[in-house]
Amino acid sequence: MFFCSCSQQPFLYTTLFVRMPESRPSVSIPAQLHKEFTPALPAFISLNQWRHEVLPSKSLQSSLIRCFDTNKAASASSEENAKPNNRYFGRDTIADAAARIAPAVANIYAQQGEDREIGSGTVIHEDGYILTCAHVVADTTNAVYLADGKVSVCLQDMEKNIVGRVVDAYVDLDIAIIKIDSPSSPLPAAKVGSSSKLRPGDWAIAVGSPLSLQHTVTLGIISCVHRTSNELGLTGMPMEYIQTDCAINPGNSGGPLCNVDGEVVGVNVETMNVEKASGVSFAVPIDFTSAIIKPFQNCRRTVRPDFGWVMRNVSDKNFQALKKYYPTFPYARDGVFVQKVIKGSPADRAGIRTGDVVVNVNLKQVRNIKEMMDVMGERSGAPVMVIVKRVRFGKDDFLCLNINFEEKDDAAPRPRL
- Does the annotation mark 348 as catalytic? no
63, containing H or E segment: helix 60-63
Question: Cα angle vertex 59, ends 57, 61, to 5°?
Answer: 145
Question: Phi/psi zone of residue 254: left (φ > 0), alpha (ψ -120 to 50 degrees), beta?
Answer: left
Q: Measure Cα distances from 36 to 31, 41, 74 in Å.
A: 9, 11, 13
Catalytic residue among 120, 125, 127, 135: 135
Task: Return all residues near 22 (Cβ < 8 A) that are at least 6 apart.
Answer: none
Task: Return all residues near 210 (Cβ < 8 A) that are at least 6 apart.
Answer: 216, 247, 248, 249, 250, 251, 252
Residues 377 and 11: their CA atoms lie apart, in Å, by 97
Residues 288 and 29: their CA atoms lie apart, in Å, by 54
Residues 28 and 2: their CA atoms lie apart, in Å, by 46
Bridging pattern class, strands 162-170 and 309-313: parallel
Number of neighbours of residue 204 by Cβ within 10 angstroms:
26
- Does the annotation mark 63 as catalytic? no
Residue 385 dihedral angles phi and psi, to the nearest 5°: -95, 130
* 290 DSSP 8-state letter: H
Catalytic residue among 139, 172, 174, 356: 174
Residues 106 and 323: their CA atoms lie apart, in Å, by 37
Strands annotated E in 229-317: 240-244, 256-258, 264-271, 281-285, 309-313
- Does the annotation mark 174 as catalytic? yes
Q: Measure Cα distances from 204 to 86, 191, 244 in Å.
A: 21, 15, 7
Handedness of CA 255, 281, 148, 325 (dihedral sign): positive
Catalytic residue among 253, 281, 306, 345: 253
What amino acid is encoded at 5 in this protein? S
Residues 214 and 255: their CA atoms lie apart, in Å, by 11
- Residues with a known catalytic role: 135, 174, 253
